[in-house]
Amino acid sequence: MAEKKLVAEITSMSEDFTQWYTDVVLKAGLISYSNIKGCMVIKPAGYAIWELIQQHLDARFKAVGVQNCYQPMFIPESLLQKEKDHVEGFAPEVAWVTHGGLEELTERYCVRPTSETLFCDYYKGEIHSYKDLPQVLNQWCSVVRWEKETRPFLRSREFLWQEGHTAHATAEDAEARTQQMLQVYADFLAEDMAIPTIKGRKTEKEKFAGAIATYSVEALMHDGRGLQAGTSHDFGDGFAKAFGIQYAGKDNQLHYVHQTSWGVSTRMIGALIMVHGDDSGLVLPPKIAPTQVVVIPIRQNAEGVMDAATGLKEALTAARLRVSLDDSDRSPGYKFAEQEMRGFPVRIELGPKDIEAGQCVLVRRDTREKTECPISEAPAKVAAMLEQIQADMLARAQAHLDSHTFRAANKEEFEAAFAETKGFVKAMWCGDRACEEQIKEQYSVTSRNIPFEQEHLADTCVCCGKPAKHMVYWGRAY
Amino acid sequence: MAEKKLVAEITSMSEDFTQWYTDVVLKAGLISYSNIKGCMVIKPAGYAIWELIQQHLDARFKAVGVQNCYQPMFIPESLLQKEKDHVEGFAPEVAWVTHGGLEELTERYCVRPTSETLFCDYYKGEIHSYKDLPQVLNQWCSVVRWEKETRPFLRSREFLWQEGHTAHATAEDAEARTQQMLQVYADFLAEDMAIPTIKGRKTEKEKFAGAIATYSVEALMHDGRGLQAGTSHDFGDGFAKAFGIQYAGKDNQLHYVHQTSWGVSTRMIGALIMVHGDDSGLVLPPKIAPTQVVVIPIRQNAEGVMDAATGLKEALTAARLRVSLDDSDRSPGYKFAEQEMRGFPVRIELGPKDIEAGQCVLVRRDTREKTECPISEAPAKVAAMLEQIQADMLARAQAHLDSHTFRAANKEEFEAAFAETKGFVKAMWCGDRACEEQIKEQYSVTSRNIPFEQEHLADTCVCCGKPAKHMVYWGRAY
């Protein structure tokens, strides 16, 4: 279709997945590269997706007692250094502020790469008694990590995210909150983003700097690579001891608090693209689509067409749908291709003949299925269709995850599974870091997580043959 | 009231206004000082106010066609320097990043103090034809200005704000957008924040670095000082020429775009406190109050009290009000004082005798007026009361502004008016910067703005006696 070419010129996935991703990101108008190396401009079409992600996730946070706040963006070097593992993890990749105005600072500040140290410093001042617990705070902000190689949404020097930081009286409370927030992420990803994930615990090697346990939700992209979509960390009392955060218990003794942190970022937009997109562009799940339905008039200069299109737009808006009307002077074919590229879940085609018959044509983005429908019934029909699309997208993504998750009972099967990147491989592991490192070196795959849903595939580790402790998801990852 | 002391210990306004402000900010739990000099932590009670400000304002923005986006937080030094006046205005007060990870940057970056230069850089890449105009973008973010003296919300090294940046085909379009956004601010401040303002143009001396015209909305605090609550700038084509932002017109010729920017910040929370607060603490207008009504059970351990209180809370929530229930083990008196300190617009007292009579007691925060009301009617009654409070708070603030705005027809009256800080003084001005500077030096007051609503108070300038050009609002300001 020549008109389609005009709009998009998206490289096909099978030809070059990396180029396909870049094409979609740019041509759907999600970002623009900036002149600040490694940083991107999030354009209105991209930012509107982020706003919907924020809305849905923030409502889920508030439903489980999370309160929002805002901490400074700077961390003095001495503060960053208070927790040993943490500073080792982050110091090599932070941006340093050395001058304020015309003066050199007496101590340099880094721009936050994450805010554990700031929240600890804050909690030290706020928490005195068991009555001050729990503290369940979150902030929406940007963070900076001085990455060398960057890709839009997946890895950039500055990115947007939320970071939750909590403090609890007991180890049990902290662990329960850590898992609760992981579940919030998993539910949000499945129900709002239509992205199924594997929930599990990270290995010691892959856990967060300073955590006693890190949990993750891992998603599978179209190209068979994994993407860590969210993480939740249990810190035990490690940070509390480093920062001296104690409370007087009901027993009148001083106790250290137990802490957690958890976060998701604009990376999720990368996952959205790579889980749902196709060769025509973006495919947005209705709950996260800034425009859920676009009305495209056919022969819009013919009498009555624009009136009918405008009336339909108003009726759809009144039904609380997010609607746009494409009344530009482009051809209908161009507009169809643009709707597909931008991933709007439904388009409605409406021309003189349709109007005469009191009909319009609904076209689903995900399946391209066309349905005729009386104009007056369009709002109800579209609302139902959006629900169906949301459900179908999750089912398709789940089917892709299932069909691209392989089982390897031994070394040969493991090797065969990773001869090419096709997806996740479930395999038994002895629990030794040495095997994990050897697997990474030999097959260029990493442990994604140790899933909560364990299976017994064999008695022995696929790497060393010693007795197996866990079943692990392995894969190449973004 | 001893219990009140327990809760608050707020210095009275008349005794020490500055201390009163600090007491309210801290004791209402809005912020906490951080160990990062000049930066504050915005605590949940403060941040929830900011979230409501964002919600209301963002809806008003979207209604006039504004789209949100996100630009990087860093500005390379060479980019900041492209517009001469702009860099002179900001370079002395920015934070400089000189190192990324372990390496020194080849060019240092500042943390954005404002993002005109970034938007210009972006627009240069986006705008080619008249079809690409207008561009009406906004971002919600934090900015950094390395201030020496700081005060919570009013002046800090990092603060939260929104900054809108637009590009237009003509000078007229840019000027119209500048004024439109000023009106959006004025409407938001009056209708949502219950803060009346004076709309007008800044003098040449007070305008923004790089603007051809700056407009402001100026509010009056309880202590008679002014506070610039929002600004809107018309840049003409100055930035476009410095950055080379041109578009091909319908005439097939290249033209420079005309630009604007406009912003409000967390300073508005400072205004909220100083316009509405009293000696018992914060007084929040209902539209911006995170908790609009708090239910306080009396003798909460008596049979049926907590059930009734919980039922009432649910009924109020169902009526779409923002409700809390204070079931802590504090005394009712303590809870009353806390509600007053935190500024929740209405409290409902509910005890065994009330329940027996099927009644509850509503108490307005602003007037302390008490009303009895059948429990079943409480949701409707509270909703109506909140509307009344919102209207009354605006009317009171307007009355304060009117009664603290003085007219000075000549030097003697001007001098008398500023013998002590009582409010704004309207006076005629010749338009010369020399007079403006002399007035500032002599009376420690600055021109707030040249109001759109001009009056003719005299023929001559209050300073030099030469023919007057404008009536100006003068005052001391935050």
- pTM for the structure as a whole: 0.96
What residues in B contact A50, CB-CB < 8 Å?
70
Find the CB nearest A146 among B47, B101, B108. B101
First to last CA, chain B: 33
CA A156 – CA A166 distance, rounded (Å) = 27
Whether residue B1 is predicted with pLDDT greater than 50 in this model: the reply is: no
**Exposed e or buried b for every residue in B36-70, given b needs 16+ CB within 10 A?**
bbbbbbbbbbbbbbbbbbeebbbebbeeeebbbbb
SS3 A442: helix
For residues B214-232, average pLDDT: 97
CA B157 – CA B149 distance, rounded (Å) = 9
What residues in B contact A36, CB-CB < 8 Å?
72, 74-76, 109, 118
Whether residue A8 is predicted with pLDDT greater than 70 in this model: the reply is: no
On whether the CB atoms of residues B80 and B110 are closer than 8 A, the answer is yes
Domain residue ranges of chain A, discontinuous segments joined by +: 63-265, 291-384, 405-475
The per-residue pLDDT for A170 is: 98
On whether the CB atoms of residues A477 and A217 are closer than 8 A, the answer is no
For residues A109-137, average pLDDT: 97
The per-residue pLDDT for B61 is: 98
Q: Residue A30 burial by CB count (10 A; 0-12/13-18/19+): exposed, middle or buried?
A: buried
CA distances from A410 to A192, A449, B77 (A): 37, 19, 57
In 3-state terms, chain B is what percent helix, strand and coil (to 5)? 40, 30, 35
The per-residue pLDDT for B5 is: 54
> How many angstroms separate the CA of residue A195 from the nearest CA in chain B?
25
pLDDT tens digits for range A72-89? 999 999 999 998 888 888
What residues in A contact B142, CB-CB < 8 Å?
70, 73, 141
CATH code for residues A63-265:
3.30.930.10
Tell me the CATH class for B291-386: alpha beta
On whether the CB atoms of residues B134 and B166 are closer than 8 A, the answer is yes
Higher pLDDT, B45 or B85: B45
> How many angstroms separate the CA of residue A252 from the nearest CA in chain B?
19
> How many angstroms separate the CA of residue A144 from the nearest CA in chain B?
9
Whether residue A285 is predicted with pLDDT greater than 70 in this model: the reply is: yes
Is it true that B2-276 and B405-475 share their CATH fold? no
SS3 A66: coil
Query: Residue A1 — very low, low, confident or very high, per pLDDT cuts 50/70/90?
Result: very low
For residues B285-298, average pLDDT: 98
Q: What topology does CATH give the domain A291-384? A: Rossmann fold (3.40.50)
CB count in 10 Å sphere of residue B374: 11
For residues A106-118, average pLDDT: 96
What residues in A contact B109, CB-CB < 8 Å?
36, 95
Q: What is the mean pLDDT of chain A?
A: 95
The per-residue pLDDT for A9 is: 83
What residues in B contact A102, CB-CB < 8 Å?
92
Query: Residue B8 — very low, low, confident or very high, per pLDDT cuts 50/70/90?
Result: low
From the candidates B26, B53, B69, which should be mutated to test the interface with A, based on the most A CB atoms within 10 A?
Answer: B69
The per-residue pLDDT for B464 is: 96
Looking at residue B397, what DSSP letter applies?
H
Share of chain A above pLDDT 90, in %: 92
Query: Residue B29 — very low, low, confident or very high, per pLDDT cuts 50/70/90?
Result: very high
The one-letter code for the residue type at A33 is: Y
Both tokens of residue B90? 């900001």
Residues in CB range of A68: below 8 A, 6 or more apart? A58, A61, A137, A138, A139, A140, B44, B47, B48, B51
What residues in A contact B90, CB-CB < 8 Å?
none
From the candidates A73, A142, A334, which should be mutated to test the interface with B, based on the most B CB atoms within 10 A?
Answer: A73
From the candidates B27, B31, B97, which should be mutated to test the interface with A, based on the most A CB atoms within 10 A?
Answer: B97
The per-residue pLDDT for A247 is: 98
pLDDT tens digits for range A54-68? 999 999 999 999 999
Find the CB nearest B96 among A51, A76, A99. A99
CA distances from A380 to A191, A320, A399 (A): 21, 11, 29
> How many angstroms separate the CA of residue A93 from the nearest CA in chain B?
4
Do the Cβ atoms of B100 and A146 come within 8 Å?
yes
What residues in A contact B93, CB-CB < 8 Å?
101
CA A355 – CA A305 distance, rounded (Å) = 7
On whether the CB atoms of residues B219 and B229 are closer than 8 A, the answer is yes
The per-residue pLDDT for B7 is: 60
CA distances from B277 to B10, B23, B288, B423 (A): 11, 11, 14, 17
With residue A474 as reference, give the H or E element that holds it. Answer: strand A470-475
For residues A380-384, average pLDDT: 98
For residues B396-423, average pLDDT: 94
What residues in B contact A67, CB-CB < 8 Å?
44, 47-48
Listing DSSP states for B286-320 in one string gives GGG-S-SEEEEESSTTSTTHHHHHHHHHHHHHHTT
Nearest-5° Cα angle at A126, A123 to A128: 105
On whether the CB atoms of residues B87 and B113 are closer than 8 A, the answer is no
What residues in B contact A48, CB-CB < 8 Å?
67-68
Query: Residue B73 — very low, low, confident or very high, per pLDDT cuts 50/70/90?
Result: very high
The per-residue pLDDT for A195 is: 98
CATH architecture under which domain B405-475 falls: 2-Layer Sandwich (3.30)
Chain-centroid distance, C-alpha A408: 28
Nearest-5° Cα angle at A440, A434 to A446: 105
Do the Cβ atoms of A73 and B144 come within 8 Å?
yes
Share of chain B above pLDDT 90, in %: 92
CA-based nearest residue in chain A for residue B144: A73
**Bridge partner residues of A251 (DSSP):** none
pLDDT tens digits for range B321-337? 999 999 999 999 999 99
pLDDT tens digits for range A404-424? 999 999 999 999 998 877 899
Query: Residue B2 — very low, low, confident or very high, per pLDDT cuts 50/70/90?
Result: very low
Residues in CB range of A469: below 8 A, 6 or more apart? A429, A430, A431
Do the Cβ atoms of B76 and A36 come within 8 Å?
yes
> How many angstroms separate the CA of residue B355 from the nearest CA in chain A?
30
Tokens 């509270």 sit on residue: B382
CA B161 – CA A250 distance, rounded (Å) = 42
Whether residue B390 is predicted with pLDDT greater than 90 in this model: the reply is: yes
With residue B271 as reference, give the H or E element that holds it. Answer: helix B267-276
pLDDT tens digits for range A11-42? 999 999 999 999 999 999 999 998 888 999 99
What is the β-pairing status of strands B135-144 and B158-168? antiparallel
With respect to CATH, is domain B2-276 assigned 3.40.50.920?
Answer: no
**Which of A308, A387, A321 lies closest to A354 in space, CA to CA?**
A308
The one-letter code for the residue type at A350 is: L
pLDDT tens digits for range A184-232? 999 999 999 999 999 999 999 999 988 999 999 999 999 999 999 999 9
Both tokens of residue B385? 């009361």
Query: Residue A448 — very low, low, confident or very high, per pLDDT cuts 50/70/90?
Result: very high
For the ranges A33-42, A211-220, A274-283, B126-135, the lowest mean pLDDT is seen at: A33-42
SS3 B250: coil
CA-based nearest residue in chain A for residue B41: A71
From the candidates B26, B41, B139, B156, which should be mutated to test the interface with A, based on the most A CB atoms within 10 A?
Answer: B41
CA-based nearest residue in chain B for residue A75: B36
CA A397 – CA A406 distance, rounded (Å) = 16
